[in-house]
Structure 1
Amino acid sequence: MNRTTRLVILLAAIVLLGTVGTVAVLHAADRSGSRERDRAGGPQVRTGTVTLRSAVGRQLLVRNLAWGPHRDEIAAVPADRPSAPRTASGVKCLRFHAAAGTALCLQAEHGALRDTYRAVVLDSRLHERRRFQAAGIPTRARVSPSGHLAAWTVFVSGDSYAGTNFSTRTTLVDTRTWAIDNNLESFAVTKDGRPYHASDVNVWGVTFADDHRFYATLATGGRTYLVRGDVAARTLTTLHRNVECPSLSPDGTRLAYKKRVPHASPDAPWRLYVLDLRSMTETRTAEHRNIDDQALWSDDSTLVYALPGDYGSDLWTVPADGNGSPHHLMTSALAPAYLG
């Protein structure tokens, strides 16, 4: 065997070994990816067009938390088939809500030294209409039933409602004129029938009745209160104690909210309740786990809310009347909005 033949054989062996190695690596990667998908049991997510005015029936939009290229994107599924493949929009949000062709998307802007945040108002095709700088970490977002008003809450210090060392800022904007109230703490407060002033007032968790009235949480003196807000008069009036993150029912008669309960862990103090606004009667729901979320009404009888899941958060439902039991709705999802 001459030198040339030996070189040819050596080169062929190197190419063969390289090919085998590449195939082995790709096969291992594919198996690893398959194991990850199997382990996650994740939902199918595909790219597509997502709008707020679907022609195919009622839909449910969520922040998709499934691992993959579409994580954190707003995705849509048919409302009656929440386990169906998700259509990802390409729009990423930390918090999201939508109504009547208007969406509110709270986003992070990742910088070299620190993250900043913004609130973006979107049209029915999820295209940006206007953006506003947000003062802190996004935590709550709501759009009024007409789509004419939007409100968002951020943490400006601290990062949890569970403790006492936090401060929030809630902003309200009119999507018709772009008139903005940067801080609802500037509204005049009436507490227990009297004008009230205090430096420790915090307001968060807006839920809209219409374009004139809303409800929210007001905290002061170590206590929380349900307040009714008047947009034009710029007033907040206390209605009930121990109410956080209220959510108004579609018929406008009840509020779902998280309530601190006695003897609960300081790190998990809340349970899900419903308040009848006519009688001011409270009903505890059948969900007995800690709820740190602003629940959403999927209809006049059912609540949707987030609980910790394997990859961030899952969505659950429970009847609003105190009967029944909780049911798992969606894996790896947050910030739901029903449309149509």
Structure 2
Amino acid sequence: MTHRNRLLILLAAVLALGCVAGAAVWRAGERADDRNRAQAGGPDVRAGRFSLVADGRRRIVFRNMAWGPRRDELATVPAATPGGRRTASGVRCLRFHAAAGTGVCLQAVRGAVQDTYRAVVLDAHLKERSHHPLAGIPTRARVSPSGRYVAWTVFVGGDSYAGTDFSTRASVLDTRTGKLEPTLEDFTVIKDGERYRSADANFWGVTFSRDDRHFYATLGTKGRTYLVRGDLATRTVTTLRANVECPSLSPDETRIAFKKRVPGLPADAPWRLYVLDLADLTDRPLAETRNVDDQAVWTDAHTVAYALPGDFGADLYAVPADGSGVAKRLMDSALAPAWIG
């Protein structure tokens, strides 16, 4: 083969690769355009302003998942008409929660090579109070009932709770003092009445008590999960019961909604929703029979809400907390809700 022919073949290969790369970029751009284009029959989403202040008109604030220019923005609807017109704020979040005029928004920061993530503490008017770099991919967020404390969980290894090859980091921030607990792994663990240490200990899914001192979370270690009660003053966590993940404390603080691994279910879809009575640590299954990989939210003393996969990312459902009734779709194309007011 002549030198000239080799050059022609090399040039053809370069052009072919350029075409492939160009097509890939075009397809990616086309997908992005699809996400920015409102879908026929989807929710009515309009730009506007709102706050996290309770004003007597009960509302839901959530991450809008509807395709269109307002996708991923925090939006709100009246709690009485969750399918109604959405007011979108312009603030984009991957995970969100709010209470008492304080919000926490876990965001992606787009980079030229790769994305990074941060936690943004929001004031009542959705303005940034502070931000904090995250060590991994956001997955859970909570604000204490008083608004003083915020917590978040990120994946720092792996990307799913379903397997055993994941690692998480749960952090707690005091918004009043600015003190950050970077990881609950620094807390002393009391298991079965004794101090427990293990290099594989992971925490996730924080939920706060009203007293601005105690919280509940999940501890994962040696292939098992445990509900723990934490104490911010003593920096300790104490195991209460096995097989409890992503706890959510009820408004009266007597029960915990959680996801439970049920034997016999597929490894990638092992969870069912349960409610635990803290008085005697007994639990009951809820009427939702599908796999739920979410940290449920109490809409009131009688109902819990949670996300399931939907056509455009996630939809919200609600189910009675006493095991009765049936699960019902609450909102299309929505995630990470908080009830305000």
TM-score w.r.t. the length of structure 1 is: 0.88
Paired residues for 1:181-192 under 5 Å? 181-192=181-192
DSSP-derived class of the 1:130 partner: strand
Q: Deviations over 1:188-245 (max 9, x none)?
A: 0001111100000000000001310000000001000000000010000000100000
DSSP-derived class of the 1:308 partner: strand
Deviation for aligned residue 1:279: 1.5
Alignment partner, residue 275 of structure 2? 274
Alignment partner, residue 161 of structure 2? 161
Alignment partner, residue 237 of structure 2? 236
Q: Given residue 218 of structure 1, which amino acid in structure 2 is its aligned partner? A: L
DSSP-derived class of the 1:37 partner: coil
Distance 1:316 1:177 in 2: 36
Larger Rg: 1
DSSP-derived class of the 1:125 partner: coil
Q: Deviations over 1:67-114 (max 9, x none)?
A: 111000000000111011000000000000000010000000010111
Describe the shift of the 1:101–1:197 C-alpha distance in structure 2 as closer, same or farther (beyond 3 A). Answer: same
Alignment partner, residue 219 of structure 1? 220
Alignment partner, residue 146 of structure 2? 146
Distance 1:116 1:219 in 2: 25
Alignment partner, residue 256 of structure 1? 257
Alignment partner, residue 104 of structure 1? 104
Alignment partner, residue 76 of structure 2? 76
Q: Given residue 135 of structure 2, which amino acid in structure 1 is its aligned partner? A: A
Q: Given residue 294 of structure 1, which amino acid in structure 2 is its aligned partner? A: Q
DSSP-derived class of the 1:259 partner: strand
Alignment partner, residue 135 of structure 1? 135
Paired residues for 1:46-61 under 5 Å? 46-55=46-55, 57-61=57-61
Distance 1:294 1:282 in 2: 17
DSSP-derived class of the 2:314 partner: strand
Deviation for aligned residue 1:54: 4.8
Moved more, 56-65 or 141-150: 56-65
Deviation for aligned residue 1:56: 5.8
Distance 1:295 1:36 in 2: 28
Q: Given residue 297 of structure 2, which amino acid in structure 1 is its aligned partner? A: L
Distance 1:177 1:148 in 2: 9
Asked if the contact 2:54–2:101 (Cα under 8 Å) also holds between the matched residues in 1, the reply is no
Distance 1:168 1:280 in 2: 26
* Aligned pairs, number: 306
Q: Return 5+ residue gaps in structure 1 as ranges.
A: 1-31
Q: Deviations over 1:146-166 (max 9, x none)?
A: 000000000001000000001
Alignment partner, residue 175 of structure 1? 175
What is the root-mean-square deviation in Å for CA atoms of aligned residues? 1.4
Q: Given residue 261 of structure 2, which amino acid in structure 1 is its aligned partner? A: R
Q: Deviations over 1:51-71 (max 9, x none)?
A: 001536011001000011100
Q: Given residue 263 of structure 2, which amino acid in structure 1 is its aligned partner? A: P
Distance 1:319 1:135 in 2: 36
DSSP-derived class of the 1:70 partner: coil
Q: Return 5+ residue gaps in structure 2 as ranges.
A: 1-33
DSSP-derived class of the 2:185 partner: helix
Distance 1:127 1:57 in 2: 21
Alignment partner, residue 87 of structure 1? 87
Alignment partner, residue 113 of structure 1? 113
Q: Given residue 175 of structure 2, which amino acid in structure 1 is its aligned partner? A: T
Q: Given residue 316 of structure 1, which amino acid in structure 2 is its aligned partner? A: Y
Asked if the contact 2:170–2:184 (Cα under 8 Å) also holds between the matched residues in 1, the reply is yes
Alignment partner, residue 336 of structure 1? 337
Asked if the contact 2:54–2:100 (Cα under 8 Å) also holds between the matched residues in 1, the reply is no
Alignment partner, residue 15 of structure 1? none
Deviation for aligned residue 1:280: 1.0
Distance 2:186 2:125 in 1: 34
Paired residues for 1:204-215 under 5 Å? 204-210=204-210, 211-215=212-216
DSSP-derived class of the 1:76 partner: strand
DSSP-derived class of the 1:185 partner: helix
Alignment partner, residue 25 of structure 1? none
Distance 2:38 2:98 in 1: 32
Alignment partner, residue 318 of structure 1? 319
Runs of 4+ in 1 over 6 A off after TM superposition: none
Distance 1:56 1:68 in 2: 30
TM-score w.r.t. the length of structure 2 is: 0.88
Identity of matched residues, %: 63
Q: Deviations over 1:247-302 (max 9, x none)?
A: 00000000000000010000100000000000211010010000000000000110
Alignment partner, residue 328 of structure 2? 327
